Amino acid sequence: MRMRMQLSQRSRPKTLQANTCLQVSLRAAISRILLLGALLALPHLGCSTEDAAPQPTAQTPPLAIRVAPVLRRDLRHALSYIGTVHAQREVKILARIPGTLQWLADEGSKVAQGKPVAIVAADEMSAKIARVDAEVRRVGAERDLRCTTYERDQSLGDDDAIPKSKVDMSRSACDTATAALDAARASAREARVGNQKTRENAPMSGRVLQRLAEPGQNIMPGMPLLLFGGDATEIRVPVAQTDRALKIQPGTPVRVQFGPKLLDLSVSAVAPLAMGPGRTTEVRIHLPEDAPSSLQSGMAARVDFVLEEQMNTLAIPENALWEFGAKSAVFVVDAGSAREVAVEPGIREDGWVQVSADIAADAKVAVSNLDMLKDGARVFAVDSQSLDSVAGDEVLP
């Protein structure tokens, strides 16, 4: 017991010493915190010194953009349609007599005017010709007999060998036989004309467009045999009624494209009536004689009706145009800075827009990141490599 009391008395001074050191450390920490708070509050209390060094401000880096040149080029406002090649004159060849179709020209074959395109076998016509020829021979022989008799009776009558009445009867018989011969010959000519109907000839130089019957088929008069088209060709375009109201008329300029081939032509004719449930009007464009020989009826072609045309006009890439509300502008880039310029857009064609503005033809305009630009913004400009590279609104990495 006495030993425990002695140990307790020895350890008490050490504990008091430790507590005293802890209290001193806490007071020092609290003093530092209060001092730091006071220093931070000095600027807000107006206690900052005039000779304090200014703090540097961070500068915004330039915005990376693509640029493209402003050009002068020809632009057109056009309506695009798909037309079909046709012959200017298309004729249906019809059968004129009953019979069997013996021969028919092949589709696509060229035929000169007057040459056969179809032959019909008609046995009835051959039999009729043989019959009327025999009738001509019979009536001719009878006419020769009657007229020879009349000549003899006339000579006898002049000698008063026979009565005058007999001479008159002989003359009448000769006249009747002559009229009968004329009628028989007319019938023969008619039969031969009918026989010519067994052969259908081309009404003009051209091409067989479509067979409407086949050899060996029995046919009747009025039955269509084939569709025939002349050498001169045209393009027929069904134009919507709303577009027709935009002054598409004879003489309107047209650009016609067959693959890589491009032709500058004009409207030749416009149908007076709108047809069909879509209320379309047929517009015709005659092709020149030197049109590609490969063009055939039924082929399709792209047709652009040019409603407005501007030559050597100021134009920018379409993705350089910044449109918001009723306002349109471009950002002209010069010396690392973007300048906003208000413009009035016009004709648009193939990714280009006509503009009316105070811009030089060789100026550079931004074609990307337009929504991040503003007037006077610092930029880092990169020239587009080709028109394809500016066709889309790309954001540079």
Domain boundaries, given as residue ranges, for the chain:
64-75+311-390, 79-88+230-309, 99-120+198-229, 123-197
Q: Is the pLDDT of residue 177 over 70?
A: yes
Q: What is the mean pLDDT of residues 153-179?
A: 88
Confidence of residue 237 (pLDDT cuts 50, 70, 90): very high
Nearest to 233 by CA among 273, 293, 306, 282: 293
Max mean pLDDT among 72-76, 81-85, 358-362, 373-377 falls in: 81-85
To which H or E segment does residue 299 belong?
none
Q: Which amino acid is at 85?
A: V
Q: What is the mean pLDDT of residues 335-348?
A: 90
Tell me what pLDDT residue 392 has. Answer: 47
Tell me what pLDDT residue 9 has. Answer: 45
**Of the given ranges (23-27, 97-101, 129-133), which has the lowest mean pLDDT?**
23-27
Q: What is the mean pLDDT of residues 148-165?
A: 86
Tell me what pLDDT residue 66 has. Answer: 92
CATH architecture of 123-197: Orthogonal Bundle (1.10)
CATH architecture of 79-88+230-309: Beta Barrel (2.40)
Burial zone of 281 (CB within 10 Å; 0-12 exposed, 13-18 middle, 19+ buried):
buried
Q: What is the mean pLDDT of residues 353-377?
A: 89
Give the three-class secondary structure for 239. strand
What residues contact 231, with CB distance under 8 A and at least 6 apart?
87, 204, 205, 206, 207
Burial zone of 32 (CB within 10 Å; 0-12 exposed, 13-18 middle, 19+ buried):
exposed
Q: Is the pLDDT of residue 29 over 60?
A: no
> What percentage of the chain has pLDDT greater than the value 90?
43
Written out in words, the top-level CATH class of the domain with range 99-120+198-229 is mainly beta
> pTM for the whole thing?
0.59
List, in sequence order, every residue forming a beta bridge with 314; answer none if it has no partner: 72
Q: Residue 69 in contact with residue 367, Cβ under 8 Å?
A: no
Confidence of residue 58 (pLDDT cuts 50, 70, 90): low
Average pLDDT, the chain: 82
Q: Is the pLDDT of residue 115 over 90?
A: yes
Q: Which amino acid is at 298?
A: G
Burial zone of 67 (CB within 10 Å; 0-12 exposed, 13-18 middle, 19+ buried):
buried
Fold annotation for 64-75+311-390: 2.40.420
Q: Is the pLDDT of residue 18 over 50?
A: no
Kindly report each contact of residues 112-116 with a partner whose C-beta sits within 8 Å and lies 24 or more positions away, as own/partner.
112/202, 112/205, 113/201, 113/202, 113/203, 113/204, 113/205, 114/201, 114/202, 115/201, 115/202, 116/199, 116/200, 116/201, 116/202
Tell me what pLDDT residue 25 has. Answer: 58
